[in-house]
Structure 1
C-alpha cells in the first residue's frame, strides 16, 4: 500500500512539473527562418534571419552556436548579433539568452540564403 501511494505521488508530481513547462526543451526547439526583405544592398538581396525559441516557459537558450559554413555578407552584421568563426560556426546573439517563445533577428546581404542551423547551446529551465 505504501509503495503504491509513493508511486501515485511521484506520478502526480511529474505531471504537475510537465504542466508547469518543465517538459523537455532541446536544441531542436530553436528554429531558424530566412526571408528576403526586398531591400538590395550593393546589388545583393537582403535576408532577414529569425531564430525562435519554441521551448515552453521558463526555458531559456543561451550561448547558441549556429553552423554557418562560408557565411558572407556585404552588409555589416553587428557582433552582438553574429560572430563568425573560421571554423564554419557562428556565435548567435552575442551568446545572450533567448527566452521561451522569443524571436531574435538579424539581417545580412548575399546572393542567396546561406545555410544556418543550431549546433549547440545551453538550456536552463528555472
Structure 2
C-alpha cells in the first residue's frame, strides 16, 4: 500500500471508531415521567406514565425495576409485563419516538426505574 492509501485507510478506521463511541446507549437514556391524571378509581388516584428513549439509537428489551408493583386496574401485559425479576416494557420491542405510555391506579406513585436494555445503532 502506498503512503496516501494508508493515511486514508487510517482516517476511515478512526472515524468508524469515533462514530461507534457516540453510538452507545445507556439505561440512563430511558426517561420515565409520571403524573396523576385527576381520575379516581375506588378512591385511589390514577397515574399516567410516559417512557421515552433519549438516545438516538433504538432501545428495546427494556426492563424496569418494579418489585411490589400493583395496580387496582390491570396494565396491558403487552405494555408492561410484571414478573419477579422486573417488568418487561413494550413486549421487548423498541421504544418508538412517541414513547410508551400506560396508566395505573395506586395509592402512591410507583418509583419505576430502568435497570437494563438492549440497543441497536446502524452505521453508514
**TM range, normalised to the smaller chain?**
0.7 to 0.9
Q: Deviations over 1:34-66 (max 9, x none)?
A: 11111111211000111110011xx11111110
Q: How many pairs were matched up? A: 118
TM-score by length of 1: 0.80
What does residue range 1-126 of structure 1 map to in structure 2 within 5 Å?
7-14=10-17, 17=19, 23-56=23-56, 59-87=57-85, 89-99=86-96, 101-126=97-122
Preserved contact between residue 53 and residue 102 of structure 1 (Cα < 8 Å)? no
| Consecutive aligned runs of 4 or more in structure 1 exceeding 2 Å deviation | 1-15
User: Counterparts of 2:69 and 2:100 in 1: how far apart (Å)?
Assistant: 18
Preserved contact between residue 69 and residue 115 of structure 1 (Cα < 8 Å)? no
> How has the CA–CA distance of structure 1 residues 78 and 10 changed in structure 2, closer, same or farther, with 3 Å as cutoff?
same
User: Counterparts of 2:107 and 2:58 in 1: how far apart (Å)?
Assistant: 33
Unaligned runs of 5+ in 1: none
User: Counterparts of 2:105 and 2:81 in 1: how far apart (Å)?
Assistant: 16
Task: Tell me the CA shift for residue 71 of structure 1.
Answer: 0.2
Unaligned runs of 5+ in 2: none
Task: Tell me the CA shift for residue 23 of structure 1.
Answer: 2.7
TM-score by length of 2: 0.81
Task: Tell me the CA shift for residue 102 of structure 1.
Answer: 3.6
- For the residue of structure 2 that corresponds to 1:112, the secondary structure is coil
> How has the CA–CA distance of structure 1 residues 97 and 44 changed in structure 2, closer, same or farther, with 3 Å as cutoff?
same
